[in-house]
Structures are given as C-alpha cells and as structure tokens.
Chains A and B, each alone.
Chain A
Amino acid sequence: MCPTLMGRIHTRVAVITLPALLALILTLVTGDGDWLLLIGLYLLLGVFLDIVLYSWVLRYQPPWMTFVLAVAEFVLLYVLVQTLGDLNQLTTVGIVVFYWVSWVLAVWTKVAILPILSLTYLESAGEFRHPEWSVPPSQESLPIVAKVASAHAPAVAGAGAVETRAHDGHAEAAERTPGEPLPPRIADELDATLGSARSPFRTAAARRSRVSAARSVGMTAWCYLVIVGTAAGVSVYTGLA
C-alpha cells in the first residue's frame, strides 16, 4: 500500500477503537486510568510519527514494514512512559502485554474489518472514501487551447476509421468502408432516438478540488476530533495542561 498522510491518520484512528475499548475495560476493572492514558499516548505518538516521519519516508509501505514499525513504536512508547513517570502503577510486563495485545487488535481491525466497513479502503491509500471517482467529470482539467486535428488523427464519423478483419485467426488493420449497413431495426431505432440523444457534452465550471472528491469529510472530522480530544485528555491526566 502507498498510504497518504490522510490515509495514515484515518487508519490510525480507526484501528485504535478496539484497543481503546480494551483499555476502558481494564480501567473499569482495575480502577486505574493509566490504561486509558497509555492508549492515548500510543495514539498521539503514532499520529505524530505519521505526520513528521512516515508520510515522508515511507511512500510505499510493504506489509512486513508494519511489524518493524510496531517494534520501533513500542520502544518509543516505553521511553515516553518512563519519561513521563506518571504510569508507575503499571508494571513493565503489563505495559508489554497490553501493547502487543493492542497491536494485534489494531492489525486485525486494519486487515479484516476496515476493508468490509469501507469497500474501497485498500485501494484508497488507507483512507475512508466514498466509492466515488477521484475527479468528477465536472472538475476535469480541460486544455486551454483547442487542439487542431493532426493529419494522422483517425477520422471518426463517416470515413476511413480503422477496423480489424479476421484473417486466418489473426487481425490485420484495414481501411473501413464508410457507411456500414445498419440492420433495419437499428436504423428504425436510430431514426426514433438519435435527435434526442445528441446532447452536447457539458463541462460544468465547478472549481477543481485539490483533493480527491471521494474523500470522506466526516471521517476526517472524526479523526481530528479524536486526536484533539485525546491530546486534551492526556494533558489533563498528566497535569501538563
């Protein structure tokens, strides 16, 4: 996959759902909010790396790289936790087990659930998109200068179009005789319908969007909300606010 920056953020936020639920359950069971703080830090660290590092360094990300990045992120998260010093109630073993269980949940979400949730997830660079075209015809770039037909351009209507003829099983190019005879029913249909079908190709003057028209604005807004909310929550919890 060649994820875009937005694709990385969409994915990062979407896959944190099950680990966050796990953290919530652990918090409710143990009465220790450090589990939620840990998952919040994991999300913020991941988003930070996505923005400042991965999207620049890893244009194409092969599948094996996912595990390498997980190991690197674990080391960074562990250092961050030790630096903050606010998670002392969690044992090292607890952090290790929680991290890798969360990672497995996140990977399974990414691999198995997201492609079903969003039909075009894998082919949309990790973004949640509507199954739409990147550039709607109304936003298509059009040449400024009208093209002058070249001498080599095939004439389309009425004369000289190329067709291929079967010749002992192989095709050869041949000049087509203009005016292919129409079967009577086709001729009748064309008489009845052609006038109304000859509507001009309309190109609306809509402004060209800088990003794919298929992008899900709602998902992007949700991601920003989750990230900002998590940052605020972590700040309050650790007393950094």
Chain B
Amino acid sequence: MTTAADPVLAGAGIEQREPQDVVIGVVGDGFSALHTYSAAVYLGFRPDQVGIFGTQTNPVHAYQQYAWNLGQTILRSESESHFLPADWPTFSQIDAVARFDPTPLMRSTMRRFNPGVPEILTLADVVTKTLGYPRRVLGGRRVGWVIREPGPPRHFSLYDEEGELLGRCKHLMIAIGHGPLAFPGIYGTARADPALAGRIVQSYEPKRYVAGGHYLVVGSGIASLNEWVNAVEAGATCVALRRNPMPDEQDLNVPRCLFDGSGIDAFDALTFEERLDFLSEVLRGTSPTRHQWTKRLKAAAREGRFTEEIGDLTEIGPGPAGVRARLRRHDGSDGGELHLTGIVCGTGFVKSVFALPVLRRLIEIYGVPVEHDRIRLKTNCGVPPLDEPDSRLCLNGLTANSVVPNGDTIAGTKYVSRRFVADAARAERLRRRWFPGRMAMQLHLAGKTVRALRRVPKTQQLA
C-alpha cells in the first residue's frame, strides 16, 4: 500500500484515504473526468458521490503538455466547446465580457472564433477549483484492473496495477484518452536506431527547431500544420510530407452536422460495421484553413523554406546533416535523397484498444466483443456484457467514437458525459437541481472566469 509519504502522491497533491465507495466513478483524469464531474454536480449529485480515479488533480494536465509540445496557441474547437457544465455562456461571450471587446462575438457569429489555449485552460482551472474537483481525485494511482461485482447492488471494484483496491463505484466511466504516440512503419524502426536518437520525434513530443535546419513533417492534420508553421517561424526549412493526396479541408474533426443530435441520430442508426466504414472515411487527416498560418507559409515558400511533397519515405538512416532519407512520391517516382536535421511525425496516436492495458484486461477477462481493434460498444457507449442500466460501464473519448463520431473532442466528451450522468441520475432516482440553482451555478462560474481572464494576455486568432 502506498503511504502518505509517497513522494509521487505528495507531488500530485492527492490526499491518501481509505478506498471509497462512490456512486459515479471515472477511470482517467482528463477532459472527460472534468465533464463528468461538473455534469454530475450540475445535475444534483453531491461531490462526494463522485470519484475520479487517476493520478492528476489537474484535468487539463495531459492536454496542456501536448499543446505546449505542439506549439498550439488556439483550439480547433469553437465557442461552445468549453468546460462549464451547461452551454451558455459560450466562450466567446465570456471572452468579450472579460476584455470589454466585442470582437470574439463577431468572429463567433462568422464561425471564425477559436478559444485560445491559455484562455480555455483558465476556464478549466476555474471550473476545476470552484467545483472542488481536486478533492475528488482518489487513490493517486493508475487503475489497472476493473472487476465487476455482482452485489447486490451491482458495482465495480477498481484496483491498481499491483492489485491494491483503490475504490468501488456503482456506475463507471472509463475515459483514459488516446493510446501511445504512433510511429507507423519505417518511422518506428528508424526511431529505435540509436544513431538517430532524438532526430525522429512526434509532434506531441517536446522539440526545438534550429534556424537553418532542414526538417520533414509527416502528416496533413492540424498537428502537422502547427509544425510547418513552427519550423518556418524558427527560421528552418520545412518539407511537408503528405501521405494522403486528398486531405479534407474541414475545420472540425468530423463534418459539422455530425456534432448535432440530428447527425448523431443518423450515425447511430447505422450498424456497427457501417459506422466503422463511415469513420474510416471521415477521420482522415484533415487540414483546416488558418489565414495567419497560410500567410506565413506562403512567405516561407517564396523564400524557398517551405515545400510540399506527396508520398512517403522508403529509407531512413543516419546522414551528414543528421538524417538521410529517400522519398518515393505518390505517383511512384523517386523523390531523391533528402538530407534532414530531423523528422517530425504528425501521425497521431495508436488507436487500438489493446494498447490500453485496463481495457485489454477487461476484454480478456470478460470476453468484451472487439472488431477492428475497437470495442463493439452498445449505442449508449456501454461495454457489453458488463454494462447494465442499474450499474453502467461506459467508455468516453476516442474509444467511444464508434457511437459518438466526435468522441475525442471537447464537444464529444461532453455529449457522452452528460448522458452517462443522466443515466446514473435515473438509476439512482436523483433529485435534480432546479433551474434557478443551475442558472446560479453557471453565472457564478462564468463570473469567476471573466475575472480570471482579465489577467490572461489575449491570444491572437488565426482563422
């Protein structure tokens, strides 16, 4: 058993307590945990009825790290994607009031507003602290095993990797985010070569571009776009390597109407197989339009510091500049040898559920059905055969996007969290918070955010 003197736990600021029984448990300590916690409190659960089983008391910790590594300054999401329990006020409205500046409202009206990273993190911090989220992060260790207990009442026991009990809950959401960073094919092999140490990195890893260096960025999604701009702004030369010749120019992760109930209705009316086919079509690397970025890239292209290639690398090895690589273009022609300072992979994350230990063990122990490396979820994001109406087991995040196509976005995790909490509220016959109480909570959180934002420098919009 870990003690209170454990330096890791002391650093994380998580109190050591005996394992607790809670009504709603969340495995994972990121965005989804905050959404679930705030939705539960908003609807009327007491904070001590909710337990977050993770290692971080800051729910944006992982995102913050990725955003910093990526050099991301604004979110891809729009004004409604925020961390308040309900959707009003939107982020542009809060921003406008905080800065006495109507520009965010006008931009939002034209769908040209994206919350700045420092601003949205400020909002998350206000919600987290005001609602007492850190006190509900329990255990301070990663959940390794989930066991279904027959009860009565039916519930789940949560254990760490060594089999120590962390807590128990009646309804459980597993929201453990993405799998590890992906280095597909030749990039993974090359990265393992000690001679190339530190020269092949992921866009979500920390990195530094050197002025005058030559970098190749693989991918065409928003992470890659960020890296193109980061490289040229550092004074380096960037080769943008697109493996997909026809990237969509779509500013959200999925077509806009799929964010709405009507789109999700239509999506969920498909069979599981049809949904997977659809996702494979729409979840290709997508590249949004950012006018500020376009200007900078065009300027770099005129200076000969930014070029695009379509194809893939066939060989990677050490070279005089650091990395020597051979390019094969999409039309099959030889693109020649490239001498590079480094390669940045904007290739995302491993999407297989088998890459997530707690899910892999559930699959093996309970025979959870899996197809194409995804759990075949029920249409309420429930995990068969363990999910029951009186004791729900639900996934959230990327692992749930076979039900909610934008499951890995702020809007998507919020969608799942709200319905999961509502299911729990029905099962527990919760006496819900009334309209005045909900309105007061929203206004209180929004007011605190307004005051906090006044101390945060304004982030430049890029669209």
Q: List A residues at the B interface (Cβ < 8 Å).
A: 1-4, 7, 59-60, 62-64, 111-113, 115-117, 119-125, 127, 129-137, 139-143, 147, 153-154, 156-158, 161-164, 166-173, 176, 180, 182-186, 189-190, 193-194, 196-201, 211-212, 214
Contact = CB atoms under 8 A, between A and B. Distances in A.
A7 B159 contact: no
Nearest to A161: B354
Given A116-B442, A132-B422, A198-B385, A163 B86 contact: no
Nearest to B366: A197
B262 interface: yes
B427 to A, nearest CB: 13
A105 to B, nearest CB: 16
The binding surface of chain B is classed by DSSP as mixed
Given A127-B261, A170-B202, A214-B261, A119 B89 contact: no
B363 A156 contact: yes
Given A142-B271, A170-B202, A172-B183, A212 B365 contact: no
Size class of the contact patch on chain B = 35 or more
25 contacts: A60-B257, A62-B110, A119-B418, A120-B415, A130-B422, A131-B422, A133-B381, A135-B268, A143-B273, A156-B363, A166-B180, A168-B192, A168-B197, A171-B182, A183-B159, A183-B161, A183-B162, A185-B159, A186-B145, A190-B147, A194-B365, A200-B385, A201-B369, A211-B265, A212-B261
A52 to B, nearest CB: 19
B418 A120 contact: yes
The binding surface of chain A is classed by DSSP as loop
Contacts, number: 213
**Which residue among A60, A129, A161 has the maximum number of chain B CB atoms within 10 Å of its CB?**
A161
Contact of A157 (B367, B418, B438): B367
Contacts of B85: 119
Interface in B384-438: 384-386, 411, 414-415, 418-419, 421-423, 435, 438
A1 to B, nearest CB: 6
A189 to B, nearest CB: 5
B86 A119 contact: yes
B191 interface: yes
Nearest to B388: A199
B379 A140 contact: yes
Given A164-B180, A185-B163, A129 B261 contact: yes
